[in-house]
Chain A
Amino acid sequence: MSSKSSAAQSGQALWTKMPKANAELFALTYGSLVTELVRDYEDPIEVNAQLDRIGHSIGVRCVDEFLSKADVAGMGMTTQCQSLRDTAEVVAKMGFKMFLGVQAEVGGFSQDQKSFSIYLQDNPLSTFVELPGDEQGGSDDLRRLKYSNVYCGVIRGALEQVNLKVECNIVRDTLKGDDLNEIRVELKEVLTDGAGDDYKEE
């Protein structure tokens, strides 16, 4: 992907071709999963970890769908991402758009170009959702719940499949009163292709 606008255009083109499902059913289904996790694990930190794990399992599979569909649609995926900037553009403008119909923005690159932020204006997961606030007291623990943490897992899982080891964190969340959602992505390591040492012939 060379220019910024082309990623957005490709994302839009991909989105129009995707069979659709009702966004509210989607949000409620996710809600039902989170509720179950909260009930089972109680500790919000553990729930966040579980959501991340679930996201990872989705991520490793949805990257395949993404690559095959982007390729079939002739989106010029023959040219690989040259830098993390390209990758960020593709994740935000094509990935998010293709699966969720919302466009995400990229920004906040660090000096060393190894971390960036994905900004999400609309979060399809958080429709109808309200987290217990300060004034309600009681279940104050739930304030530590990262409701949309599944995104982090998805991004981590998807990028892992293309040899990028990243760490993700939700740093701003509209459910907690921020004016937008921000996911911070940090590149840890570029993995090398090929079988691991365990599989090498002796």
Chain B
Amino acid sequence: MNLNKAPSNILDRPLDRPRSSDGVSLSAFAYIYSELVQYHQGRAASISELERRLESAGYGVGLKILELVAYRAKESKRETRLMSILHFVSSYVWKTLFGKSADSLERSIDHADEYMIVDYEPITSTFVSVPSDLGQLSVDAYLSGIIAGVLDGAGFSARVTAHSVKIEEGEVPPTGSGGFSVPGMPPRKEKAVFLVKFSPEVLSRDAALER
């Protein structure tokens, strides 16, 4: 071993935008993710426990993504309002992670504290088909964990859950951008809806800022 060269210190490595060529194949991601799901599946007693486990796996990733995206953002401002942080997540964070914005950001009609981020082709379920005995499982739970991590790190604590929702006939993604449509794959039958339910204190703070 070369003694003159100190072990590469992680703090010396550049954090700037990676080289343009950077990226791995979607397959490589899918293989690793599938192993992550299988690993947790082997240890979870129920579907909801599996989803919780995937969420907590994503949570730490979300915290790190927030720091990374915030560091790289040109203007160094911090989002303090509810709508702007949601917008930040559905456009900025989404673009960083998936190369496209989320397909839509909606506000729940029934509950003022609930918002929905919709993605028609989340990469975590590209090659996944959920067997019927796992019923309502949404393997995009990992992404909801990431969203929760980002939001929590930014001071907007929220409960985020992933749901697979059947795509109605004739329904088309608003943006029409098939970010991860893979050639040779059948069109998706379900879209992912990430339900964001903010904590009461976040809402009251936002209401106070409104004045």
Contacts and interface: CB of A to CB of B under 8 A. Distances in A.
A99 B24 CA distance: 6
B62 to A, nearest CB: 9
B97 to A, nearest CB: 5
A58 B7 CA distance: 31
B35 A58 contact: yes
Nearest to B181: A19
The DSSP consensus for interface residues of chain B is helix
A200 interface: no
Interface residues of B, number: 43
Contact of B18 (A24, A31, A35, A133): A24
A178 B209 CA distance: 52
A195 interface: no
Given A19-B180, A54-B39, A98 B7 contact: no
A141 interface: no
A64 to B, nearest CB: 11
Contact of A33 (B8, B25, B36, B183): B36
Given A19-B182, A21-B123, 18 more contacts: A18-B27, A20-B23, A21-B25, A21-B29, A21-B30, A23-B18, A24-B96, A25-B97, A29-B61, A32-B61, A57-B38, A58-B35, A61-B31, A101-B22, A101-B23, A101-B25, A174-B8, A177-B8
Interface of B: 1-2, 5-8, 10, 18, 21-33, 35-36, 38-40, 43, 57-58, 60-61, 64-65, 68, 96-99, 123, 142, 180, 182-183
Interface of A: 15, 18-26, 28-33, 35-37, 40, 54, 57-58, 61-62, 65, 98-101, 124, 128-130, 133, 150, 174, 176-179
